[in-house]
A = this chain, B = another copy of it.
């Protein structure tokens, strides 16, 4: 067994005892880091996602600086959509799709593609990242869930109320289903490609799954998440499902065949562990807590560590992505606190 298999992160995901709690944070390769901003002075966000050397560099940065226990490949959840015929423009702040998908013609025009042909730079970047990380730090691959990707495709970007997606849901649910199924096939391919390229774990980000009634979540979203996760089972890498705002759906997702659930900050971690029993958990600290004082960060991080200790496995993380204005010192306090915590 290589050292990597015995890394704290992978052991925690497998539900094996660890001497301390591993930590990484979502969007850890990001704008709060001065060294990331330096790279971004020379290259656009979109090009960074498509340039293996640069993507590798920013992936390694937070691991070097903070000693995080896992790296996550630098990319964007919208990256795989470009080769489907839906290129997003990131140059004006939020992502923008020039021609949002609104009817069957738009949806049927989306192309399925072999991942290695459509996004060759992702596999290449993973290769470089694995080389750079060596045997010490596992690399996480990821994708957006079909539903979350569908919100961007249908709305044409971010949205406040998801009016177009909801109109489709409430008038042509079969059309939305067709889109979700198509995205599901592509995303499963895309994640399999990442595993083949060397990632040690995968996370499916369902940022916007929480905007639905649980009955719609159950019929529209959950089956395609299940299909992706089941399709990755024989890959042997741990699978993490992060549904932001999952509290109303925990009773529905608990039976997914995954190794771990991400938990946002609006839930009590002990309750979430009870509701999704038998799986590892990851997350729970409000990203904005890192805008607070040192004492609050320490106290809240320790509370989460203590509650997480009751799960079969616990990976420390924020409840959502780290924010651009987060002070470096707050991250230092967090990492030091979590890595210093020992179960009683």
* Chain B residue at minimum C-beta to C-beta distance from A296: B170
Task: State the majority secondary structure of interface residues on A.
Answer: helix
Q: Which of A47-55, A160-168, A187-195 forms contacts with chain B?
A: A160-168
Q: Considering the complex, give the chain B residue whose CB is closest to the CB of A304.
A: B213
Digitize A106-148: 1 where CB-to-B-CB distance is under 8 Å, 0 elsewhere. 0000000000000000000000000000000000000000000
Task: Name the segment of A35-43, A66-74, A95-103, A264-272 touching the other chain.
Answer: A264-272
Which residues of the other chain, B, contact A173 by a CB distance below 8 angstroms?
A: 296
Flag A143-161 by CB within 8 Å of B: 1 or 0 each: 0000000000000000001
Contact with B along A304-344 (1 / 0, CB 8 A): 00000000000000000001010000000000000000000
Q: How far is the CA of A251 from the CA of B163 in the complex (A)?
A: 31
| A247-272 to B contact mask, C-beta < 8 Å, 1/0 | 11001000000000000011110010
* Highest count of chain B CB atoms <10 Å: which of A166, A213, A214, A293: A213
Q: Which of A4-12, A21-29, A228-236, A283-291 contacts B (4 or more CB under 8 A)?
A: A283-291
A positions within 8 Å CB-CB of B: 161-163, 166-167, 169-171, 173, 210-215, 245, 247-248, 251, 265-268, 271, 286, 288-289, 291-293, 296-297, 303, 323, 325
